[in-house]
Amino acid sequence: MDLMFLTGLLASGVRFAIPLLFAALGETIGQKSGVLNVGLEGIMLVGAFLAVAFSVATGSPWGGLLAAILGGAALGLLHGLFAVRLKVDQIVSGLALILLGLGLSGFGYRLVFAGQPSMRVPGFDRLDLGVLSDLPLLGPLLFSHHALAYLGILLAVGLWWIMTRTGLGLTIRAVGENPKAADSAGIDVDKVRMLCTIFGGAMAGIGGAYLSTAQLAGFVEDMVAGRGFIAIACVVFARWNPLGVLAVALIFGIADAAQIRLQPFFPQVPYQFFVTLPYVLALVALAGAARSSNLPAALTQPYRKS
């Protein structure tokens, strides 16, 4: 394998990693507060659809992004209402979100774009950093991504700082580890969880928007294709550490890029074999990390006063 192949692989690995990164960062915060959202898949689908619809409507990918954030936050709010306020089983509520997301995005797509076989979606352009982007090898690898990619990396660092160094992080961790302790310290457990869940939804919305307006240009039904679940695996594999999430999302992104790029080299192997690669990686990661002691102690447990 030559150097060109390698940089190409890594650069597209980064691109594949970004949607995972956003969704997984949001999920990390949600889980840190004690709320598991298995419905990321559904939220990402809605985000992907809204981003396309509103990019077309407003003529700018940023308009689409905003719509995806709002839509994701709304679904996060819905999950919070059921799982946090009404104490419905978090898995059940999350599964409902997946189905809802599938239905909403598919239906919405047909409603809005019926009979418009090919339309131009105003997508995100890669950032042009002039000389830097033209550098051989390093240019494509580091300096030619979408603005969202750099935002995601900044977010990972920022969230890590918030979770470990600030009073806000302390509050979120307490709520996910021992809600009773948080409650007795005067913290409104359900409110913190609601806000974290809404944040998680908004982040998954961004992940979906990236898929449909930066990575690809357009919406296809079920285009998230399991990335919502991989994002959850990222959170566990990264042991609930936002910086870890950055690293793990990159690993998964590169694995995804590799499976696509390796396919032509082995025409005799059925392509489905390659497609399963990231999922196998996720399984292995989960089996290894599931018993981690970093698991928020009150994850999936609704909080009821005394």
> Binding residues for other proteins, per CB under 8 A?
165-168, 170-171, 173-174, 177-178, 180-187, 293, 297, 305-306
Nearer to other proteins, 177 or 229 (CB): 177
| CB 200 within 8 Å of CB 30 | yes
Q: Minimum CB separation from other proteins for residue 298, in Å?
A: 10
Please give the Cα distance from 231 to 47 (Å, whole number).
15
Q: Which positions ≥6 away from 213 have C-beta within 8 Å?
A: 51, 52, 55, 61, 64, 65, 121, 122, 123, 124
Q: Which is nearer to other proteins, 80 or 176 (CB)?
A: 176
CB 36 to other proteins: min, Å: 19
What b/e string do you get for 110-135 counting C-beta neighbours within 10 Å, with b at 16 or more? eeebeeeeeeebbbbebeeeeeebee
Show the CA angle centred on residue 119, arms to residues 115 and 120, nearest 5°.
Answer: 170
Question: Nearest distance from residue 91's CB to other proteins, in Å?
Answer: 21
- Per the CB < 8 A criterion, the answer to whether 84 and 197 are in contact is yes
Distance separating alpha carbons of residues 65 and 132, to the nearest angstrom? 27
* Nearer CB in complex with other proteins: 136/288: 288
- Closer residue to other proteins in complex, CB, 187/217: 187
Nearer to other proteins, 142 or 177 (CB): 177
Partners of residue 146 on adjacent β-strands:
126
Q: Which of 55, 88, 45 is nearest to 304 (CA)?
A: 88
Tell me how far, at minimum, the Cβ of 66 lies from other proteins, in Å.
25
Q: How far is the CB of 150 from other proteins (least distance, A)?
A: 24
**DSSP letter string, 229-263:** HHHHHHHHHTTT-HHHHHHHHHHHHHHHHHHHHHG
Pick between residue 126 and residue 239 the one whose CB is nearest to other proteins.
Answer: 239
Q: CB 267 → other proteins: shortest distance, Å?
A: 48
Q: What token pair was written down for 211?
A: 């898929």
CB of 283 to other proteins, least distance (A): 24
In the complex, minimum distance from the CB of residue 77 to other proteins, in angstroms, rounded to a whole number: 21
What is d(CA 115, CA 222) in angstroms, rounded to the nearest whole number?
19
- The CB-of-179 to other proteins minimum distance in angstroms stands at 9
| Helix (H/G/I), strand (E/B), else coil: 119 | coil
Q: Report the candidate in 24, 89, 92 with the shortest Cα–Cα distance to residue 285.
A: 24
Nearer residue to other proteins within complex by CB, 82 or 240: 240
Q: Which is nearer to other proteins, 80 or 179 (CB)?
A: 179
Angstrom distance (rounded) from CA 160 to CA 43: 23
CB 302 within 8 A of CB 182: no
* Residue whose CB is less far from other proteins, 74 or 177: 177
